[in-house]
Structure 1
Amino acid sequence: MYKKMIVAVLVISGILFVLSPFIKESIIINLSKNKSFELTAEQAEQNNTQKASFDFEAIQPPSFMEAVKAGLDRESKAVIGRITISSVNIKLPILKGTTNQNLLYGATTMRPDQKMGEGNYPLAGHHMKRENLLFGPLIHIKKGDTVKITDFKKDYIYTVTSKQFISETDTDVIQETKEKEITLMTCDKAVRTEGRLAVKGKLIHVAVHR
């Protein structure tokens, strides 16, 4: 009986090990499309007043257990907006603060002082092995493509002006600028890497919600 239990545990563990990447991706798909992230402008504004972490050195590739934990703890308190890039099928919540948990849900802000529509607005996102998840599709973005972000009060429309591969140490791209622009950051490939893809866009239009 004891041996049968051990065999059963080993078999189940083996199955989970094989299936864990697929389960993790399924959880992340579900998280990024979570209906609870559809907030009012007032809720998003309140969320933006909360403190957030920007410890880039603590960021790790998402693990199976982190995805499971995030799936059980679906709070929208960090959500402050949404990003849409129709040309590459990106539609994700924007969360305040770059943390391992926030990155499982969508795009994350990279500086505590950034404001939509003002100066440089940098956002980070994971590049997963399934490239249609999170910021993976940025690999296929082109100059002239449209990027829209919203705080549910206004839509800020940008046009992509550049796409370049840089080192993770090239942090100048996320610093504040006089120009009204957006910077989208992700890893250059879906493994632990020192390379980054940086996409820049300039603000071309602001539309007020009615």
Structure 2
Amino acid sequence: MAQKKHRKGSSVWRWLRGILFVLLVAVSLVLIFNGPITNWLVKTYRPTITRTDVKKNEKTKGNYDFRSVNSLDLKTAAQARANHKIRAIGLVAIPSIKLNLQIVNGVSDADLALATGTLKPDQVMGQGNYAIAGHRMDQKDAMFSPLFWKSRVGQKIYLTDLTHVYEYKTTERKFIKATRVDVVNDVPGQKLVTLITCDATGANRLMVRGSLVRSYAWKDAPEAALKGFSYKQKVETIAS
């Protein structure tokens, strides 16, 4: 009888050790591939954006407390992909570095997991200082990472609400303190776009700024801009 109990106890212990081993392997794999999985989740988010959606989404309210924005992790990215619907109000593209992302109102963690966000309310493309922020990822072509690795003065930056296209030329690229919130303010007499992302340490910020060159109706926009907006993303501009 004692021998049977001993065998049963040993079997249960082996079963528990097996379960523990599987759990440890699973946790280890998640830790090892945390970054690549997060990069994949945000990089492969390329839903269709339509002019009708943009018109409707322009009325949505955003969270502009950018001091409360957290670093993007696997949990936030996964939850955003599973449960969150981006309310795009337009697109930002830098064709020369293959950057093309949706823009939303505000900078909530869920929104910034999948798109870039405006840094102050009631911004209008082609007017004032249109300031947007996005995450820098480990992968050099995900989210605002191309901005960090490949942006240069002189490159063209395009914004669109799918009705008009606004062409800017990069005039400034520099690292600033995270406390420099003044860079989102309008500059009298200037029409600017200001793109913000983290530096390599996360303690400071990279600011890329451009000045408005011209604007176009969508149908008259240069081919380079339209290709830039279509990069890995389906864009529908048929008016409702």
TM-score (norm 2): 0.80
Question: Do residues 187 (structure 1) and 201 (structure 2) align?
Answer: no
Work out whether 1:57 is the aligned partner of 2:103.
Answer: no
Identical aligned pairs, as a percentage? 27
Report deviation, 1:150: 0.2
The answer on whether the counterparts of 2:128 and 2:186 sit within 8 Å (CA) in structure 1 is yes
| Residue 166 (1) aligns with residue 170 (2) | no
Separation (CA, whole Å) in 1 of partners of 2:202 and 2:153: 27
Matched, 1:109 2:123: no
Residue 3 of structure 1, CA deviation = 2.3
Code of the residue aligned with 1:81 in structure 2: it is: G
Cα distance in structure 2, aligned partners of 1:149 and 1:67: 25
Q: For 1:19, which of 30, 33, 38 is the aligned residue? A: 33
Stretches of structure 1 lacking an aligned partner (at least 5 in a row):
none
The CA distance in 2 between the partners of 1:21 and 1:165, in whole Å, is: 24
Structure 1 residue 73 corresponds to structure 2 residue 87: no
Measured after TM superposition, the shift of residue 177 of structure 1 is 2.4
Deviation at 1:187, TM superposition (A): 0.9
> Does the alignment pair 1:208 with 2:217?
yes
Give per-residue Cα distances to partners, 1:179-207, cap 9 Å, x unaligned: 11110111121x431x1111111111111
**Higher relative contact order (Cα pairs below 8 Å, separated by 6+ residues):** 2
CA deviation digits over 1:33-69, x for unaligned, max 9?
x223x122x3212111111101112111111111110
Kept in 1: contact 2:129–2:185 (CA 8 A): yes
Aligned counterparts of 1:176 and 1:86: Cα–Cα separation in 2:
26
- Per the alignment, residue 138 of structure 1 pairs with 147
Q: Distance in 2 between matches of 1:188 and 1:68?
A: 24
Runs of 4+ deviating beyond 6 Å = none
Alpha-carbon deviation of 1:17? 1.8
SS at match of 1:35: coil
Note if contact 2:104-2:118 (Cα within 8 Å) is conserved in structure 1: yes
Query: 1-side partners of 2:206 and 2:82: how far apart?
Result: 31
Please say which of residues 172-181 and 155-164 is displaced more in the overlay: 172-181
- Give the CA deviation at 1:74: 4.3
Q: CA deviation at 1:209?
A: 2.2
- 2:137 — aligned with what? 128
- The whole-number CA distance in structure 1 between the counterparts of 2:34 and 2:138 is 13
Return the letter of the residue paired with 1:182: V
Q: Contact 2:77 / 2:114 at 8 angstroms: preserved in 1?
A: no
Residue aligning to 1:35: 47
Which amino acid is the alignment partner of residue 43 of structure 1? D
Please, which of 6, 16, 24 is the counterpart of residue 10 of structure 1? 24
Picking from 184, 202, 208, the partner of 1:199 is: 208
How many residues in Structure 1 have an aligned counterpart in Structure 2?
Answer: 203
TM-score after normalising by structure 1: 0.91
Give the CA RMSD over aligned residues: 1.3
- The DSSP-based 3-state class of the residue aligned with 1:14 is helix
Q: Partners in 2 of 1:108 and 1:94 — Cα distance?
A: 5
Structure of higher CA gyration radius = 2
Asked if 1:97 is matched to 2:109, the reply is: no
C-alpha separation in 2, matches of 1:177 and 1:192: 27
| Secondary structure of residue in 2 paired with 1:172 | helix
Q: Contact 2:84/2:110 (CA < 8 Å) preserved in 1?
A: no
> What is the one-letter code of the residue matched to 2:96?
S
